[in-house]
Every structure is written in structure tokens, then in C-alpha cells.
């Protein structure tokens, strides 16, 4: 483990040839080793060799970043929450992936404190403890860019260092109320949500049209694609279809949505909600 260091420490005569270096180490204790070094060379036509023992002392140090990580240091907290619901495990996992990706980029650019020192799971969500204020803000921005939602940043004075005030920030994030696959009623239309950012985007299940609504419009979650079941498409007419209700086995007349390409007699995906039965794309 010390060969490269010993090799760099050896000084040879400029006329020496066929220099050979060999050694083996003997552990005295965890911080001291005895190195037995043998050197041979040819100088002015003469074979020369020597053996020497030297003690190697190891001084173990921790870099500033590692020391702060080990000590649980943080300058900012990213609070992961969801609006009017519990954040899912999949969302937490994706948020951590996005945070790691962003922090790795910042580290490669020289931010020594772009790290997560602690991940704390709480009843209301998950908190990520970040090593620098700048990194904390950038992690929040990266999550919102992909998953949508909002964030509110607040700061608090935690002390002084060399006469300067020291602050920590909290980035309180709220992921969107609706996620991909949710079925919701808003402004008289029932839609399957594709994604939500500053607006809610999805497909109107009545006619198949792509629609968008402001995120603050009154909306009620009716279910999710996970609640979907299979039903039989009984008949197709010009603008309507007949579907067999999978619970009552009664025929239900529905408007034919633009996304429907199935044939009569085939199975289709439906969801039954408080506002009726709907076909799903």
C-alpha cells in the first residue's frame, strides 16, 4: 500500500542504471508500519545493493466535507410533502434520485457541501438535510421542474461565525394534489390526469379531448386508474357505445370518446365513479 510513496521518496544517482526497488511491510499497530526496503542498481559498471528499515507513521484525517456529513451538518432542509394527500413512496424515491443527480453535478463543479447528511421520515412526509443553501434551492427547483408543485423558502438565523450571521433555510415543497392516472371531476368534466404543474392536464373521459385547467380550480378526486376494471363493449353506434356494467350487468349508454378503437364484443377498461361509468384510454 506504500509502494508509490516510497518510490517517490527514493533519490537515485543520475548515472545509476537498472534500478530495482523491493520492500515488504510489517504492521506494528494500526498507525505504525515497519517497511523493509531493498534497493539495487548498476553504477559505473558495479552492482550496488542496500537494505534499510524505516518506520512509517499514518496520520488519519477526515476532509471537511466528510466531517460535516458525519456530524450531521446541514444548511438547508427540503421538506417533501403533497397537497391534500400523503406523498407516495414512489414520489419520495424519485425526489431522492433527482436530489442525488443534482448534488452530484454540483459536487463535480466544486461545491464541497452539496450532500445529503440525513433523510428523516415523518408522518407527514420526508425531510432531506442538505449541506449548502445553494444546493438546497437547486434540489427544490429540480424536483418541481419534473414533478410539478410549489415551494416556499424561509430562513432562520442560527448563529454567527467570524462576525457574520449564519442562516439555514427550509424549502417547504408541496407536490401536486393530482398525479398521473388520477380520475377527477372539475368544472363539470371528468378527466384522467396526465400531469400537473401550474395547470392540471389530462383527457376528458367523455369525449377524449385533451384539456387543461388552472391548478386552483375546484376539483374532486373520483378515483384512479388503479381502480379500473374490465367490461364488455356490447355495441358501437355512430357517436355512442353500449357497455356492460361489470357490477350490475346492465347496459350503459356512453358517448364514444375519441380514444376508443375497440370493436364490439371486446373487453375495454372502465372505471366506475360517483359521477357514473367511464371508459379509459
Q: What is the pLDDT along the chain (281 residues), one digit of tens a residue?
A: 566 776 777 777 888 888 888 878 888 888 888 888 888 888 888 888 888 888 888 876 666 667 676 677 899 999 999 988 899 999 999 999 999 999 999 999 988 889 999 999 999 999 999 999 999 999 999 999 888 888 999 998 888 877 788 889 999 999 988 988 999 999 999 999 998 877 899 999 999 999 999 988 999 999 999 999 999 999 999 899 999 999 999 999 999 999 999 999 999 999 999 999 999 99
What pLDDT does residue 238 have?
A: 85
Domain boundary, last residue among 175, 198, 227: 175
Contact indicator for 214, 181 with CB cutoff of 8 Å = no
Whether 209 and 244 share a structural domain: yes
CA-based torsion, 203, 204, 208, 210: positive or negative: negative
Q: What angle separates helix 89-108 from helix 133-147, to the nearest 10 degrees?
A: 130
Same domain? For 109 and 195 the reply is: no
Residue 27, pLDDT score? 86
Pairing of strands 76-82, 164-175: parallel
CA torsion angle 253 274 262 226 (round to 10): -170
Same domain, 167 and 71: yes
In a shared domain, residues 198 and 141: no
- Residue 127 CA to residue 96 CA, distance in Å, equals 10
- Predicted local distance difference test score (pLDDT) of residue 207: 93
- Name every residue whose Cβ is closer than 8 Å to that of residue 23 and which is 6 or more positions away in sequence: 2, 3, 6, 35, 36, 37, 38
Domain count, the chain: 3
* Residue-level pLDDT at 3: 65
pTM value > 0.75 = no
Give the range of the structural domain holding residue 214, as residue numbers without chain letter. 182-279
208 and 190 in contact (C-beta within 8 Å)?
no
- pLDDT score at 2: 65
Residues 33 and 83 in one domain: no
Based on the domain organization, do 77 and 171 belong to the same domain? yes
Query: What Å distances lie between residue 169 and 106, 120, 137, 152, 213, CA to CA?
Result: 18, 16, 9, 10, 32
Query: Of 24, 39, 57, at which residue does a domain stop?
Result: 57
> Which pLDDT value is given to residue 1?
57
Which of 175, 202, 231 lies at the terminal end of a domain, its last residue?
A: 175
Q: Are residues 30 and 111 in the same domain?
A: no
Distance CA 162, CA 47 (A): 62
pLDDT of residue 147: 87
Query: In terms of domains, do 52 and 69 share one?
Result: no
Same domain, 77 and 44: no
Residue 164 and residue 90 share a domain:
yes
Please check whether residues 155 and 91 belong to one and the same domain: yes
In a shared domain, residues 169 and 133: yes
Amino acid at each position: 500500500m506504500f509502494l508509490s510513496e516510497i518510490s517517490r521518496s527514493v533519490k537515485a544517482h543520475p548515472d545509476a542504471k537498472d534500478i530495482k526497488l523491493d520492500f515488504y511491510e510489517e504492521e506494528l499497530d494500526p498507525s505504525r508500519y515497519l517497511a523493509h526496503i531493498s534497493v539495487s542498481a548498476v553504477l559505473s559498471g558495479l552492482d550496488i545493493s542496500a537494505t534499510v528499515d524505516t518506520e512509517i507513521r499514518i496520520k488519519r484525517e477526515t476532509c471537511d466535507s466528510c466531517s460535516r456529513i458525519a456530524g450531521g451538518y446541514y444548511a438547508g432542509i427540503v421538506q417533501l410533502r403533497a397537497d391534500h394527500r400523503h406523498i407516495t413512496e414512489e414520489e419520495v424515491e424519485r425526489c431522492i434520485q433527482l436530489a442525488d443527480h443534482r448534488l452530484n453535478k454540483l459536487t463535480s463543479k466544486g461545491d464541497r457541501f452539496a450532500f445529503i447528511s440525513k433523510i428523516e421520515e415523518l408522518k407527514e412526509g420526508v425531510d432531506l438535510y442538505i449541506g449548502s443553501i445553494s444546493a438546497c434551492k437547486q434540489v427544490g427547483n429540480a424536483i418541481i421542474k419534473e414533478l410539478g408543485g410549489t415551494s416556499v423558502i424561509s430562513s432562520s438565523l442560527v448563529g454567527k461565525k467570524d462576525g457574520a450571521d449564519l442562516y439555514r433555510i427550509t424549502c417547504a415543497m408541496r407536490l401536486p394534489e393530482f398525479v398521473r392516472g388520477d380520475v377527477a371531476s372539475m368544472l363539470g368534466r371528468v378527466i384522467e390526469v396526465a400531469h400537473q404543474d401550474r395547470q392540471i392536464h389530462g383527457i376528458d373521459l367523455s369525449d377524449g379531448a385533451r384539456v387543461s385547467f388552472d391548478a386552483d380550480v375546484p376539483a374532486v378526486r373520483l378515483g384512479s386508474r388503479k381502480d379500473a376494471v374490465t367490461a364488455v363493449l356490447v355495441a358501437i353506434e355512430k357517436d355512442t357505445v353500449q357497455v356492460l356494467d361489470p357490477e350490475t350487468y346492465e347496459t350503459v349508454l356512453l358517448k364514444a370518446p375519441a380514444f376508443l378503437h375497440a370493436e364490439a364484443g371486446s373487453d375495454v377498461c372502465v372505471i366506475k365513479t360517483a359521477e357514473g361509468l367511464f371508459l379509459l384510454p
